[in-house]
Chains A and B, each alone.
Chain A
Amino acid sequence: MNTPSDTGLQAKLAEHAYRIRRFALRMGEVQGQGYVGQALGYADVLAVAYCHAMQLRPDDPQWEGRDRFLLSHGHYAIAFYAALIEAGIIPEDELDTYGSDDSRLPMSGMATYTPGMEISGGSLGQGLPIAVGMALGLRLKGNPAFVYNSMSDGELDEGSTWEAAMGAAHHGLGNLICLVDINNQQADGPSSKVMGFEPLADKWASFGWHVQRVDGNDLSAVIAAFDTARALTEAKPRVILFDTLMGKGVPFLEAREKNHFIRVDPPEWQQALDILDHAQGAAR
């Protein structure tokens, strides 16, 4: 049962998630194509991370006390920039430059280009090992911040992910939270066909992690999972496995044949925005 304050929080985060989806679609329109399905699917997780769970100062993205968020799956930059805009870290009018020459918002996320981007992801499978080092460093400095490593299900294929999983547990990194977007999609097709990774929760648990697996498009479940991961006192790393639906919120994109990189026809961008606006209007 939701308490009234839970309902209020959920409504607030639904509004943030709606705006993140909108920003991502507008960036997609600049390029006419892109990782839009992923952005729509992951928007709820990003909304909870950036507008509820994380400690940050929008006007000082390098603030020493900030929670670190590592975008290991650099191609999700379109989703991430949308969250940075929503969090007030980058100005909204910059989204028109997405993926364009000399923009601060390149198609693949890079630390050297964008305020609030902690690492250059994109060579997939590097985020979690970096997160292990940052978590060790924070602990050594006595800094209580969390390190969030955000990754895709394709990155579960890389050996480096499991090297880091073992290392994080070995070092008892209670300040490390790993977020995995399980959208069952990779470059060559559904993840389950490319390289099966189930039973996934059991794998992480056997590596010594605290594991939660939730519907990544159910806001109340996502909020609860973040809250639980943060509140735990055990000295072990935490992973949240989010099952998400690519294209979430835009039925014709949800229904479209699943693809890593999608083209959207020019009139469809506006149709998609209209659908989001209509649904959010009704929810309000």
Chain B
Amino acid sequence: MSTAATKKPRLTTSAMIASIASEGQRTIAAPFGKALVTLAEQRPEIVGLTADLAKYTDLHLFGQAFPERFFQMGMAEQLLMAAAGGMAKEGFMPFATTYAVFGTRRAFDFVHQVIAEENLNVKLCCALPGLTTGYGPSHQAAEDLALVRAIPGMTVIDPCDALDIEQAVPAIAAHNGPVYMRLLRGNVPLLLDEYDYKFELGKAKLLRGGNDVLLISSGIMTMRSLEVANALAADQVDVAVLHVPTIKPLDTATILAEASRSGRLVVVAENHTTVGGLGEAVATALLTAGVSPQFRQIALPDAFLDAGALPTLHDRYGISTDAMTQTIKTWLA
């Protein structure tokens, strides 16, 4: 007797690696791995280290291209970070990969003390950022940005798509000092090529103008924000989208200039908890400068998140395109 055929229809299911691409969206495979291989051909000081997650962070491509510059540290994230720091002290530029939860929560003191305190040239590239897996809190890095933002001298990057990643890799290598980059791996959406956009470290970029709402976002939430802007355009709501791929240092000048335009609802949308991420960073910048527009935050709740299928969870926590659109409509009503 076979089970599936005779029983009630399947409930939505959750795998570890779920796609964040919208339906029908163009994607590029392994943009990080490919960009790193290209860059490493010119920069012999680049080395790759991972903690048993090369295949799951696209670093395996680097390992195949440069086996003698690839170091498997085993599933030992503290070793990963401290050894990356050690190699940086000997003049190398380590790219260290793991999942965001383990690179931040498990190895935090090693990142803080070994890498950041000496301003070592280590690039932490961490997959499954924010809520991008249905595995529950053990794998959901809802607070990764809050943790790394709190480290002095840490540059923090939250790329939106394959193009952002491809351009961010050489840019973070050109910057001397520790960088935390949220990594999108596998088949990564491609959309920013449709805009007049180029990644520049430390710069926020206006992707589209609009008179009613200013959406300020980073990472995959910029992809969602652009979809929301399209959806709301149908209702004659004019939405501007400001993409902030560098969370730290924050491009305060651009944010203030946009948020100062009167009459617009300012909404910060982030794939992160309400605590300590882009929303709070923007709010602080605005208040400090005496700019006080109507302000709202779309973010994950300050709670341990559920396990389940990613689309279900994005709806539940209000960061899916539909949920965001509805929420903003309510705020405008």
Residues on A lying within 8 angstroms of B by beta carbon are 26, 29-31, 33, 74, 96-97, 99-103, 106-108, 110, 113, 120-125, 154-155, 157-159, 186-188, 193-195, 261, 266, 269-270
Q: Given the interface contacts A159-B78, A187-B53, A188-B50, does A96 sit within 8 Å of B3 by beta carbon?
A: yes
Closest to A157 in B: B74
Closest to A152 in B: B75
Cβ contacts under 8 Å, A99 to chain B: 13-15
Query: What's the minimum C-beta distance from A65 to chain B, rounded to whole angstroms?
Result: 29
Interface of B is mostly: loop
Assembled-state Cα–Cα distance A266/B5 (Å): 11
Other CB < 8 Å A-B pairs besides A101-B312, A107-B14, 20 of them? Answer: A31-B15, A33-B15, A96-B8, A100-B11, A100-B12, A101-B14, A101-B308, A106-B308, A108-B135, A110-B137, A120-B136, A120-B138, A122-B138, A123-B106, A125-B75, A154-B75, A188-B50, A188-B52, A193-B72, A269-B4
A121 is contacted by which of B2, B7, B102, B138 (Cβ under 8 Å)? B138
Cβ contacts under 8 Å, A187 to chain B: 52-53, 55-56, 75
Assembled-state Cα–Cα distance A99/B312 (Å): 13
A108 pairs with B136, CB closer than 8 A: yes
B12 pairs with A123, CB closer than 8 A: no
B79 pairs with A186, CB closer than 8 A: no
| Binary per-residue interface labels of chain B (62-96) against chain A in the complex, 1 for a CB within 8 Å, 0 otherwise | 00000000001111101100000000000000000
Assembled-state Cα–Cα distance A270/B6 (Å): 13
A188 pairs with B72, CB closer than 8 A: yes
Q: Given the interface contacts A159-B79, A195-B75, does A100 sit within 8 Å of B14 by beta carbon?
A: yes
Cβ contacts under 8 Å, B60 to chain A: 188
A106 is contacted by which of B4, B54, B78, B136 (Cβ under 8 Å)? B136
Cβ contacts under 8 Å, B309 to chain A: 100-101
B102 pairs with A107, CB closer than 8 A: no
A157 is contacted by which of B15, B52, B101 (Cβ under 8 Å)? B52
Query: What's the minimum C-beta distance from B30 to chain A, rounded to whole angstroms?
Result: 15
Assembled-state Cα–Cα distance A99/B102 (Å): 22
B101 pairs with A188, CB closer than 8 A: no
Cβ contacts under 8 Å, A107 to chain B: 14-16, 134-135, 307
Assembled-state Cα–Cα distance A193/B16 (Å): 24
A188 pairs with B55, CB closer than 8 A: yes
Cβ contacts under 8 Å, B73 to chain A: 195
Assembled-state Cα–Cα distance A110/B140 (Å): 13
Q: Given the interface contacts A29-B4, A107-B14, A270-B2, does A186 sit within 8 Å of B75 by beta carbon?
A: yes
Assembled-state Cα–Cα distance A128/B55 (Å): 27
Closest to A122 in B: B138
Is B182 interfacial (CB-CB < 8 Å)? no
Closest to A259 in B: B55
B138 pairs with A74, CB closer than 8 A: yes
A29 pairs with B3, CB closer than 8 A: yes
A113 pairs with B3, CB closer than 8 A: no
A186 pairs with B52, CB closer than 8 A: yes
Cβ contacts under 8 Å, B79 to chain A: 159
Assembled-state Cα–Cα distance A106/B14 (Å): 8
Is B224 interfacial (CB-CB < 8 Å)? no
Closest to A187 in B: B52
A110 is contacted by which of B2, B101, B307 (Cβ under 8 Å)? B307
B52 pairs with A30, CB closer than 8 A: no
Cβ contacts under 8 Å, A194 to chain B: 52, 72, 74-75
B12 pairs with A101, CB closer than 8 A: yes
Assembled-state Cα–Cα distance A102/B134 (Å): 11
Is B139 interfacial (CB-CB < 8 Å)? yes
A103 pairs with B11, CB closer than 8 A: yes
Query: What's the minimum C-beta distance from A252 to chain B, rounded to whole angstroms?
Result: 18
The residue in B2, B15, B74, B135 that gathers the most chain A C-beta atoms within 10 A of its C-beta is: B74
A195 pairs with B135, CB closer than 8 A: no
Q: Given the interface contacts A121-B138, A122-B135, does A97 sit within 8 Å of B11 by beta carbon?
A: yes
Closest to A102 in B: B308
Q: Given the interface contacts A33-B15, A107-B16, does A124 sit within 8 Å of B7 by beta carbon?
A: no
Q: Given the interface contacts A101-B308, A101-B312, A157-B74, does A96 sit within 8 Å of B7 by beta carbon?
A: yes
Query: What's the minimum C-beta distance from A244 to chain B, rounded to whole angstroms?
Result: 18
Cβ contacts under 8 Å, A195 to chain B: 52, 72-76
